[in-house]
Amino acid sequence: MPVIYLLDGGAHFLHTVATMDLLSRRDKMPYSLVVGIENPDRGRDLTAVAVPGRPSGGADHFLDFIGSELIPFVETSFLTAPHRTLIGHSLGASFVLHALVERPDLFDAAIAISPAITKDERTGEGQALFSKRMGAAFADRESQPFSLFVTMSDGEELEWETDLVAITDLLESDAPGGFEWVYQEMLGEDHGTTVNRSTFDGLRFINRDWAELVDVRTGTLDELRGRFERVSQRLGTEIRPPEVLVNLLGYRLLAEGSGEAAIEAFEYNLSLYPESANVHDSLGEALERQGKLPGAMQSYRKAVAKAETDGDPRVAIFRANLARVEALLYEQRSDRVRTGGTTVGQGPDGGDGPQPRR
């Protein structure tokens, strides 16, 4: 599963996990691992400029810790996908922008919530403006997919927005190929309350293609495959269409009168889930409706056999479908015996005629 790295984890872990859980259950994003990161001294760890007289300027060391220790530990301890998102609020959001400049390879997406781009961060000794640093980083960056979601409430200190305007102008004009971004002003919020909405909207933006996966009300099987292939490529791991989703597509096509396309959808589903009794049954239904009764009988037989083995509670339905098709085939054979040519001694040429089929 994808991983979300969350700065200030002690303050934001619970609502971020709840947001991820809600969105994933509503098919708006993949279920993800949330890693909350706490800091013994956030003022030191999340700022890039060293200011005399107070702990500060440790952002590069903290970024090294995340890249060389934390991420390897997470990825060797859990079954993760390569896709990583970094979320930060206030100083954490400034750190997000710093990470984007200094280690653009470390994350695939980021949410920067009300970045506290303070005067120290803008004009500290030896420190160029964020926008200048980002411009230089973009100039050296090859095309690479990335999603950035930046927010600022309308109740912030105006000085924080000064360089953010330059950053959004830069994104507008010079963002490298594949870099997708949104800047969103959170009206009616302040620096503290903007976090929930920003996390929700940011995760939806980053995973906007995920919501398209489950829409089978229109489109073809090839389009469905294409959507899953694109998401798989973004996440760096194979995402297979769920069995129920492909079945819904097949039944929609069947209802629209596209019987052959429905058969193709069910056969594709069977290639993904060959042990599913229900998919065998669905394919049998599509074949039956197309008049392909021998194939339907074979599919229904497989559905019954697998359901009996697995203790599937739908086995009675599958048996009834099989019995119906077997009866139809028996009736067809009986009709051919009664009318298969003409009866003995009554051929059209006065001869014996064809023998009845047995």
The per-residue pLDDT string of the chain (358 residues; one tens digit each, 9 = 90 and over) reads 899 999 999 899 999 999 999 998 888 888 999 999 988 888 888 887 777 777 777 888 999 999 999 999 999 999 898 899 999 998 898 899 889 888 888 998 999 998 887 666 655 555 667 777 777 777 777 767 888 999 888 767 655 556 777 788 888 877 777 888 888 888 888 888 889 999 999 999 998 888 777 778 888 999 999 989 988 888 888 888 889 899 999 999 999 999 999 999 999 999 999 999 999 999 999 999 999 999 999 999 999 999 999 998 999 999 999 999 998 888 888 766 666 654 433 333 443 433 333 3
Q: What share of the chain is helix, strand, coil (3-state, %, to 5)?
A: 55, 10, 35
pLDDT value at position 338?
A: 65
Rounded Cα–Cα distance for residues 27 and 46 (Å): 33
pLDDT value at position 187?
A: 86
Q: Euclidean distance between the first and final Cα of the chain, in Å?
A: 59
Query: For residue 98, what are the CA distances in angstroms to 35, 86, 131, 144, 329?
Result: 19, 12, 11, 18, 71
pLDDT value at position 347?
A: 39
Where does the chain show beta strands of DSSP type E?
A: 3-7, 33-37, 84-89, 109-113, 146-153, 179-186
Report the CATH fold assignment for 3-206: Rossmann fold (3.40.50)
**3-state SS assignment for residue 256:** coil
Its CATH architecture, for the domain 221-339, is: Alpha Horseshoe (1.25)
- For CATH 1.25.40.10, list the domain ranges present in the chain: 221-339
**Number of Cβ within a 10 Å radius of residue 271:** 10
pTM of the model: 0.74
pLDDT value at position 352?
A: 42
For residue 268, the 8-state DSSP code is: H
**Number of Cβ within a 10 Å radius of residue 308:** 13
The answer to whether 185 touches 151, Cβ cutoff 8 Å, is: yes
- For CATH 3.40.50.1820, list the domain ranges present in the chain: 3-206
The partner residues of 88 in beta bridges, in order of sequence, read: 112
